[in-house]
Amino acid sequence: MRRTAAPQNLKRRILKDALRKNEQRDAAFRRIIRSVPKGKVSSYGKVAAAAGYPLYHRAVAKLLRSATLHGLPWQRIVGAGGEIKLRGEAAAEQRFRLGMEGVKFRGKRVRPGFRWRWVGS
């Protein structure tokens, strides 16, 4: 089954909305990020969808980029293909932290057995 593309104006509206501060949405993202188990990773898009905000993957990235991350396991969130999206020292730190949790890589990507699927109500 093939996914239908979202209308262009919907995409534009979501992009604008993702830039706005929304404490309720950010709290939902934080709750899902905290629920990713040690030794597993999830993607920005899966976090957004599990929080009830599909298509808001950029809002998840913005939250992780701008928020105070005390107690938030930010290293467990990667790109859709399992690739670390950060650059430079931040990417090296994320890979190091994931390695300390036992996550294995195949090249630049997290091996598929370490990817986590949120199953909730």
- Residue 22 sits in a domain whose CATH number is 1.10.10.10
Query: Could you tell me if residue 121 is inside a domain?
Result: no
Domain with 85 in it: 9-114
- 110 in any annotated domain: yes
Q: Is residue 2 part of a domain?
A: no
The pair of three-digit structure tokens given for residue 11, joined into one six-digit string: 């995409």
Per-residue pLDDT of the chain (121 residues; tens, 9 = 90+): 556 666 677 777 776 777 777 899 999 999 999 999 999 999 999 999 999 998 899 999 999 988 677 789 999 999 999 999 999 999 999 999 999 999 999 988 999 888 887 665 4
SS3 per residue for the chain:
CCCCCCCHHHHHHHHHHHHCCCHHHHHHHHHHHHHCCCCCEEEHHHHHHHCCCCCCHHHHHHHHHHCCCCCCCHHHEECCCCECCCCHHHHHHHHHHHHHCCCCEECCEECHHHECCCCCC
Confidence (pTM): 0.82
pLDDT given for residue 79 in this prediction: 94
**Total domains present in the chain:** 1
